[in-house]
Chains A and B, each alone.
Chain A
């Protein structure tokens, strides 16, 4: 009886650990160069549209560098979709500078 309880508990702990690791692995960060973000007052739309996208966790826009740093859940959204969202705001997602887990 005791053995089966211990086995159940171990199973739960293992499942939780696996679940946590898969959640952590799903979070990615990408830096996308965005062409045309010279107008400070209108480039806030890029952050707005990205933040409204399911799976996007954090967005930082740099006008000086002309890039968007996006933290996202790759189980919910793809990098291609992020580029599509940026292009939909009238700016142009040019190329990926770096991608890290």
Chain B
């Protein structure tokens, strides 16, 4: 009887946990720094690394060279980094920063609501990993560590 109850509870809880971990990414329609439309659906079939950042956030700035390197080295294996700014931001400041750093991936202008679609905290940076099927696989709070890339992103590129 006890086993049956445990089994029933596990069966009821497992789908909830699974959906929480691998739910479909919401449809995003944002504007890039030139005012052009940027949709998440533009990257269908790729492993998308959504990076929420701000110029006033030190760890966001610190991890950007690594994201640039990641985009350069893994683009051919289907990786696409997309940066989304978090307010308050001035577009001129964002443009200056992106140009200075030589960012090689698209940057979209986001709002608090954009980030809240993926995460209910205000932690920055936040990196959301979306697999080739469009499912959210990881939400990585704080600076992206090399071991997190190896464990959570690289396996999806196979």
With a cutoff of 8 Å between Cβ atoms, the chain B residues found around residue A44 in the complex are 123, 141-142
B147 A89 Cβ-Cβ under 8 A: no
Size of chain B's interface in residues, with CB distance under 8 A?
18
Shortest A36–chain B CB gap in Å is 6
| Bound-state Cα–Cα, A60 to B30, Å | 38
> Does A11 count as interface, using CB distance less than 8 angstroms?
no
Within 8 A of B (CB), among A33-63: 36, 39, 41-46, 48-49, 52
Which size bracket describes the interface of A in this complex?
10 to 19
Shortest A93–chain B CB gap in Å is 12
B58 A48 Cβ-Cβ under 8 A: no
| Bound-state Cα–Cα, A91 to B56, Å | 12
What is the interface of chain A mostly: helix, strand, loop, or mixed?
A: loop
Within 8 A of A (CB), among B95-149: 121-125, 141-143, 145, 147
With a cutoff of 8 Å between Cβ atoms, the chain B residues found around residue A41 in the complex are 57, 121-124
B123 A90 Cβ-Cβ under 8 A: no
Identity of the chain A residue whose Cβ is nearest the Cβ of B62 in the assembled complex: A90
A39 B143 Cβ-Cβ under 8 A: no
Identity of the chain A residue whose Cβ is nearest the Cβ of B141 in the assembled complex: A44
A to B CB contacts below 8 Å, 9 in the list: A39-B56, A39-B57, A41-B124, A44-B142, A48-B143, A48-B145, A52-B145, A89-B62, A90-B58
Q: Which residues of B contact A (CB under 8 A)?
A: 56-63, 121-125, 141-143, 145, 147
Supplied contacts A41-B123, A45-B143, A90-B63, 19 more A-B pairs, CB within 8 Å: A39-B56, A39-B124, A41-B122, A42-B59, A42-B123, A42-B142, A44-B141, A45-B59, A45-B142, A48-B143, A48-B145, A49-B142, A52-B145, A89-B58, A89-B143, A90-B57, A90-B58, A90-B60, A91-B59
